[in-house]
């Protein structure tokens, strides 16, 4: 019997993890464990079943695994609402950055090996491990106003570290991430945005005195991306995921298209969760094997279903904004991924997302968020 999802109250959003998001996360994990529905997907990139592929070429599979076990790499991702055409001013998600380092399985530090083993157990097989640092910033639509804006979303920043496990096989990518951070002045979002605006000559963001109050943050994020079909150079991906924690609790689904110059056209290229693009060092290395031939275009449409969002409803240093969480939000994105050398790739993506809050003032309209992201990736067989 379906579990009803009540409209969350202010208190339930500030304290604890709502049951619906936790249930989504638990269900996703059940699907990816050995024997789960998604773990048994019959389609691989070349159309063969996992069993047939293993029986036909066990030595090739072993060689591929050996090569993947020696691949490490890093990625730097920079988002900003100025990276879109036409450029726009601040409002909603205004910018952020993320640095990932992917450890080769054979070179995972000893103190992190238990985390990699746990990730592999949860994901249904051997996994790779990433360590990440990142920052996010959110503002009202007019960042020049220093006084509180009760009809708009609050100012907010997050500075975080994350540890994530990844597995890609049989056309199915899955990832689990634990994110720990801090919201409030210690996020340094005020300083970061002011410096960016100084460099580009924009108006000074004046309202950070009204940002969300300081508090620690913890999130668990689960992602699954399945290559559902291929026609020549075109791949179709479907994805699902869930996020649970002290900041946001939501489930999401999406559909992605990848147009590649050559196989493998990996689901790792599909952006799927807000502020995240999947990173897998071994997969990126494969894309770069043919130099400039590794050019892919991708597009994605998705929907997030929120139970709570503390970036909208959290307490601030000013008056509490009179806004509520929008429980369903749509996102579309498109971009290019260029493997310009064997060890280097460059990507650009434009993202448009519906407003994730509703003002209690009916005279206040809604403005979709738009931003662009640039990422540089380097891999090595070391």
Phi-psi region of 67 (alpha: psi -120 to 50; beta: other; left: phi over 0): alpha
Q: What tens-digit pLDDT sequence spans the chain (382 residues)?
A: 444 434 333 333 333 444 444 454 445 444 444 344 333 332 333 333 333 333 333 344 444 444 455 678 888 999 888 888 776 667 788 889 999 998 888 889 999 999 999 999 999 999 989 999 999 999 998 888 999 998 999 999 999 999 999 888 878 888 999 999 999 999 999 999 999 888 888 888 999 999 999 999 999 999 888 888 888 888 888 989 999 999 999 999 999 888 876 544 555 455 444 445 555 555 555 555 544 456 788 889 999 999 999 999 999 998 888 999 999 999 998 888 887 877 788 888 899 999 999 999 888 877 888 888 898 888 876 5
Reduce the DSSP state of residue 193 to 3 states and report it: helix
- Sign, CA torsion 329/296/128/187: negative
**Structure pTM?**
0.80
Q: Where are the domains of the chain?
A: 10-39+70-380
Q: With respect to CATH, is domain 10-39+70-380 assigned 2.40.128.140?
A: yes
Please give the backbone phi and psi of residue 267, each rounded to the nearest 5 degrees, phi first: -65, -15
pLDDT at residue 13 in the model:
37
Task: Give the Cα separation of 75 and 194 in Å (integer).
Answer: 25
Task: Give the Cα separation of 105 and 96 in Å (integer).
Answer: 29
pLDDT at residue 164 in the model:
93
pLDDT at residue 84 in the model:
83
DSSP per-residue letters across 130-183: EEEEEEEEEE-S-TT--S--TTSPPPEEEEEEEEEEEEEETTEEEEEEEEEEEE
Say if CB 375 and CB 336 are below 8 A apart. no
pLDDT at residue 266 in the model:
55
Parallel, antiparallel or unpaired: strands 156-169 and 128-139: antiparallel
pLDDT at residue 203 in the model:
85
Long-range contacts of 358-362 (CB under 8 A, 24+ apart): 358/323, 358/324, 358/325, 358/326, 359/151, 359/152, 359/322, 359/323, 360/151, 360/322, 360/323, 360/324, 361/150, 361/151, 361/322
pLDDT at residue 235 in the model:
83
């Amino acid at each position: 019997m379906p579990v009803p999802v009540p409209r969350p109250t202010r208190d339930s959003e500030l304290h604890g993890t709502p049951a619906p998001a936790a249930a989504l996360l638990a269900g996703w994990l059940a699907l990816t464990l050995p024997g789960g529905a998604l773990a048994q997907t019959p389609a691989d990139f070349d159309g063969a079943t996992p069993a047939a592929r293993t029986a036909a070429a066990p030595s090739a599979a072993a060689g591929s695994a050996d090569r993947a076990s020696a691949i490490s790499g890093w990625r730097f991702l920079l988002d900003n609402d100025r990276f879109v055409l036409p450029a726009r001013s601040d409002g909603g998600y205004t910018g952020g950055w993320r640095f990932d380092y992917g450890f080769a399985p054979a070179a995972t530090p000893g103190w992190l090996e238990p985390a990699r083993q746990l990730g592999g157990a949860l994901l249904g097989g051997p996994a790779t491990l990433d360590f990440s640092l990142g920052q996010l910033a959110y503002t009202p639509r007019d960042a020049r106003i220093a006084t509180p804006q009760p009809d708009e979303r609050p100012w907010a920043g997050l500075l975080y570290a994350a540890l994530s496990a990844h597995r890609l096989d049989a056309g199915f990518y899955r990832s689990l991430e634990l994110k720990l951070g801090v919201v409030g002045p210690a996020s340094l979002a005020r300083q970061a945005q002011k410096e960016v605006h100084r460099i580009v000559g924009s108006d000074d963001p004046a309202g950070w005195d009204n940002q969300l109050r300081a508090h620690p943050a913890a999130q668990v994020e689960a992602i699954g991306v399945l290559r559902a079909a291929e026609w020549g150079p075109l791949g179709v991906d479907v994805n699902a995921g869930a996020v649970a924690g002290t900041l946001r609790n939501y489930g999401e689904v999406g559909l992605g298209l990848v147009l590649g110059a050559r196989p493998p056209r990996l689901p790792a290229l599909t952006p799927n969760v807000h502020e995240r693009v999947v990173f897998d060092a071994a997969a990126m290395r494969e894309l770069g094997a043919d130099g400039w031939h590794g050019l892919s275009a991708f597009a994605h449409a998705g929907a997030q279903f929120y139970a709570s969002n503390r970036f909208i409803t959290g307490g601030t240093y000013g008056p509490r904004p009179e806004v509520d969480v929008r429980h369903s939000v749509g996102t579309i994105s498109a971009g290019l991924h260029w493997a310009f050398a064997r060890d280097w790739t460059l990507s650009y993506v434009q993202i448009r997302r519906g407003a994730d809050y509703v003002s209690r003032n009916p005279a206040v309209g809604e403005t979709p968020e738009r931003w662009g992201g640039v990422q540089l990736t380097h891999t090595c067989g070391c």
